[in-house]
Amino acid sequence: MTSTVAKSKKKIIMEAAARLFRDKGYSASSMRDLAKAVNLKASSLYNHIQSKEALLQEICFNNAHRFLQGMNEVEKMEASHLEKIKALIRLHIEIAATDITSITAFNDEWRHLKDPHLTRFLRLRKSYEQRFLVLIKIGIEKGEIKDMDPQLILFTLFSSVRWLYDWHRKDRETELSSLEKQITELLLGGIKA
Amino acid sequence: MTSTVAKSKKKIIMEAAARLFRDKGYSASSMRDLAKAVNLKASSLYNHIQSKEALLQEICFNNAHRFLQGMNEVEKMEASHLEKIKALIRLHIEIAATDITSITAFNDEWRHLKDPHLTRFLRLRKSYEQRFLVLIKIGIEKGEIKDMDPQLILFTLFSSVRWLYDWHRKDRETELSSLEKQITELLLGGIKA
DNA sequence: CCTACCGATCGGTAGG
DNA sequence: CCTACCGATCGGTAGG
């Protein structure tokens, strides 16, 4: 019982931290802000967490692993490379839509990680990008995708989806499936051969 | 002479501030960091600038006005609405390419403005978005652009170009004209009817 | 342009 | 889980 209470309290703190980091940024968010958000004194937070940076680490690495997990599944698919890229666009949209606060912190605040973890994080990120790039390159070779700079395609796909966190806050009505369909259509119309 | 020296020193400070805000974020950048970057003591900065927030204000409003100025010119063009939207994409790329540090601070750090200025800034931004939106809507009515959610098109165009600041740092060789051509092709292939 | 310094706030610890 | 408190650092001012 003590353990389940402690566990859920940590989750409450994690979620409040993600929201705070998203809204004010990591540096401008104080542990006193966070404590207030979960009805504790600042010092009491440290019964549940190690440090401010540990909160950021958990957010960053949790999300990095979600993307890499998605990549694992996509690579195993029996499908054309265009289909695989569509599946990755869907992955980005779905992650952004289901955990909007966490993913925003992940996108924008990772640079505040300190160096053993920063390097580790950038390695994961680089690996994801490389694997994505391979799919694009093969897609181009097979004539499924227009012959453009693969890096340019990659970064455009990535960032095309990053405004979603803004959107979702003001318009919770738009259905996810409609969002997915329209964004995919917009992007694929552009890169499909 | 005193005046020209003071003026150029202020510009040096402004540029160092933009770089700092881009690299570490506004909140994590201290006035002591900034002073070190321009070979002064922190207190001496205040002979050239009013406050830390005033630096951010200048970055944010300067860039906001560049975008609005560009919009003025585009609206006056004698061209189809598709051409106008192409011109705006070019505008975004050119601003991003010619003043990469300032535009990044503008994109990401405006939320740290305090309230009289924050509201003013958001009003400018909203106005730019509305005018862009009108061009998209008319383009759709005229059958020049696919019939998709105009907001979705707007935000996708905006963010598609935001990764440029990363790109330019690692690959200063890619020519601007080639970048423009490829991004426009990628985006327009998707929205052109 | 500097030295000296201000009050406020930071992340975090001690001790219970 | 709290009170009390730490040293460090913050943006900025006084005074020269």
Helix B81-98 and helix B176-191, axial crossing angle in degrees, nearest 10: 140
Q: Which residue has the higher pLDDT, B88 or B171?
A: B88
pLDDT recorded at residue A2: 47
User: Best of A22, A186, A188 to disrupt the B interface by mutation (most B CBs within 10 Å)?
Assistant: A186
- The nucleotide closest to A50 (CA, C1' atoms): C12
On the question of pLDDT at A173 being above 90, the answer is no
Cα gap B103→B183, rounded to integer Å = 18
On the question of pLDDT at B91 being above 90, the answer is yes
Residue pLDDT, tens place only, B10-19: 999 999 999 9
- The nucleotide closest to A46 (CA, C1' atoms): C12
Reduced to 3 states, what is the DSSP secondary structure of residue B145? Answer: strand
Please report how many Cα atoms fall inside a 13 Å half-sphere around the Cα of residue A117, on the Cβ side. Answer: 17
On the question of pLDDT at B160 being above 60, the answer is yes
Confidence label for B1 from pLDDT (cuts 50, 70 and 90) = very low
pLDDT recorded at residue A32: 97
| Range in A74-78, B7-11, B78-82, B161-165 the model is least confident about | B161-165
| Range in A29-38, A149-158, A173-182, B131-140 the model is least confident about | A173-182
Residue pLDDT, tens place only, A21-50: 999 999 999 999 999 999 999 999 999 999
Q: Which residues touch strand C (CB under 7 A)?
A: A 29-33, 42-43, 46, 51-53; B 9, 39-44, 47-48
On the question of pLDDT at A163 being above 50, the answer is yes
Nucleotides of D under 7 A from a protein CB: 1-5, 9-15
Q: Which residue has the higher pLDDT, A2 or A169?
A: A169
Distance of CA B171 to the CA centre of its chain: 20
pLDDT recorded at residue B193: 47
Q: Which residue has the higher pLDDT, A159 or A51?
A: A51
pLDDT recorded at residue A159: 87
pLDDT recorded at residue A1: 44
Confidence label for B103 from pLDDT (cuts 50, 70 and 90) = confident
Question: Nearest Cα to A100, choosing from A190, A191, A19?
Answer: A19
Cα gap B11→B55, rounded to integer Å = 11
DSSP annotation string for chain A: -HHHHHHHHHHHHHHHHHHHHHHH-TTT--HHHHHHHTTS-HHHHTTT-S-HHHHHHHHHHHHHHHHHHHHHHHHH--S-HHHHHHHHHHHHHHHHHHSHHHHHHHHHHGGGS-HHHHHHHHHHHHHHHHHHHHHHHHHHHTTSB-SS-HHHHHHHHHHHTTTHHHHHHH-TTS-HHHHHHHHHHHHHHHHB-
pLDDT recorded at residue B105: 82
pLDDT recorded at residue A40: 96
pLDDT recorded at residue B168: 60
Cα gap A163→A1, rounded to integer Å = 41
Residue pLDDT, tens place only, A61-120: 999 999 999 999 999 999 999 999 999 999 999 888 888 888 888 888 999 999 899 999
CB contact residues (below 8 A), chain B span 26-85, against chain A: 26-28
Q: Which helix (H) or strand (E) holds B156?
A: helix B150-160
Query: B24–A148: do the CB atoms touch at under 8 Å?
Result: no
Q: Are the CB atoms for B112 and B26 separated by under 8 Å?
A: yes
Domains delineated in chain A: 52-191 (1.10.357.10)
Question: Nearest Cα to A109, choosing from A31, A57, A66, A165?
Answer: A57
- pLDDT, chain B, mean: 89
Query: A148–B186: do the CB atoms touch at under 8 Å?
Result: yes
Rg of the Cα atoms in chain A: 19
pLDDT recorded at residue A104: 85
